Amino acid sequence: MLRVRTAVAALVAGLMVTACGGAGRGEAVGEPPGDTPLSATVEPLPEPDGGRGTGRSATPAADPSRTPGPAATVPPALKFTATTLGGDPFRGASLAGRPVVFWFWAPWCPKCLSEAPAVKRAAAKYGDVAFVGVAGLDTEEAMKEFVRRTGTGTIVQLSDEKGAVWSRLGVTSQSTFVFMRPDGSTEKASGPLGADELDAHVRELRAA
């Protein structure tokens, strides 16, 4: 158990050195240790209860209670459970078989703050695409304040203080977008992305 806690602490410390224009911070996070088991940072959670609230609201395409149909194959990247900023459990498997936009952000990041309006508009415009925010590199209270400030509680917002979802999707810096096609393949784009750039990525994602 001590060894796992040490690995988790090392991962969090590595993520905290990332930056977004902040003084004294680097631009990228160190790669997570290869021998760190994801089970140490992504813990099983009970089934979702369908609650709603700050960080809980979801577009229909990002319903955390959805169970993939028999034909939907869950890619390895979606085999995780997490918790929303509203305190609800979230299963990555609920996103299987549909286009998804993951937005990785940090509360203190100026780039993330500047692109929040574009993310909010795109999520409202493309109802057939699941938008999921993944917050990290700070306290949960700071994450909630960012969501309140930007009005982005209309999409699913995950609390990822330990960096487990970041590691699962191979993200090492913020802001980063991961565009996942229905077949599970992905493409990354570093932010900030303006409204036009994000719109172009989402249109390409929907056409895949």
- Residue 13 to residue 180: CA distance in whole angstroms: 28
The domain spans of the chain are 2-207
pLDDT at 191: 85
- Mean pLDDT computed over 48-64: 39
Confidence at 73, pLDDT banded by 50, 70, 90: confident
Q: Residue 43: which residues within 8 A CB-CB, separation 6 or more?
A: 81
- Residue 176 to residue 61: CA distance in whole angstroms: 21
Torsion sign over Cα 148, 151, 155, 157: negative
pLDDT at 133 over 50: yes
**How far does CA 37 lie from the centroid of its chain?**
19
What percent of the chain is modeled with pLDDT above 90?
59
pLDDT at 134: 96
- Residue 4 to residue 65: CA distance in whole angstroms: 30
Confidence at 195, pLDDT banded by 50, 70, 90: very high
Task: Please indicate whether residue 60 or residue 186 has the higher confidence score (pLDDT).
Answer: 186
Confidence at 72, pLDDT banded by 50, 70, 90: low
Q: What is the mean pLDDT of the chain?
A: 75
pLDDT at 131: 97
- Mean pLDDT computed over 178-189: 94
Number of helices (H), then strands (E), in the chain: 5, 7
Torsion sign over Cα 135, 80, 164, 178: negative
Task: Please indicate whether residue 138 or residue 28 has the higher confidence score (pLDDT).
Answer: 138
The three-class DSSP label of residue 91 is strand
CATH 3.40.50.720 matches 2-207: no
Token pair of 129 as six digits: 């695409």
pLDDT by residue (tens digit) across 112-130?
Answer: 999 999 999 999 999 999 9
pLDDT at 58 over 90: no
